[in-house]
Amino acid sequence: MRSYHRTVPAPADPPLGIDVIGVPAGAPVELEVRLESVSEGVYVSGSVQAPLAGECARCLDTVTDAVDVELGELFAYPDSVTDETTDADELPRVVDEQVDVEQVVRDAVVLGLPLSPLCAPDCAGLCPDCGERRADLAPDHGHETLDPRWAALRGRTFGEATPSAD
């Protein structure tokens, strides 16, 4: 069994993440990887740790977090029984005696990401009327909303003074 510990910069293209959150390009990705030879191929296991940056799903404020996930994937040897009985998109293959750890790391990190990151568990989001963060607004913040029918009436009453024909 071989194992190594490496710190690599996060890739920029495609980025290591999803639209709302991911590992910033160039940020250190800490890999702890073990490669184990098994009868059907190479079993890759270990862990990945990386910082995250994203956007709060409710208020769009910046969210910083970290991901810490476990890896575990069998890379099948060409011509093994596993190779014959599975598709390459189900299980990766050992190609030229190499394993592409990047794809496994990518899959593990993406699975470990929050689908809707929040700046705080109780984030109150944005005011639907002015778009400001509720956290920055007064507790009694609100907008006077006028019923559109009344608004129309008010427009007519206080609007342009139409000269009377009489």
Residues that bind Zn ion (CB under 5 A): 56, 58-59, 61, 119, 123, 127, 129-130
Single-letter residue type at 40: E
Please spell the DSSP secondary structure of 90-132, one letter per residue: TS-B-BTTB--HHHHHHHHHHHTS-SS--SSTT---B-TTT--
Nearest distance, CB of residue 121 and Zn ion, angstroms: 10
* CB-nearer residue toward Zn ion: 143 or 149: 143
Residues paired with residue 17 on neighbouring β-strands, in sequence order: 22
Nearest distance, CB of residue 35 and Zn ion, angstroms: 41
* CB-nearer residue toward Zn ion: 16 or 123: 123
* CB-nearer residue toward Zn ion: 38 or 130: 130
> Using CA atoms, how far apart are residues 9 and 18, in angstroms rounded to an integer?
17
Q: Quick check: 9 and 26 in contact, CB under 8 A?
A: yes
User: 3-class DSSP state for residue 7?
Assistant: strand
Nearest distance, CB of residue 44 and Zn ion, angstroms: 36
* CB-nearer residue toward Zn ion: 6 or 141: 141
Nearest distance, CB of residue 124 and Zn ion, angstroms: 8
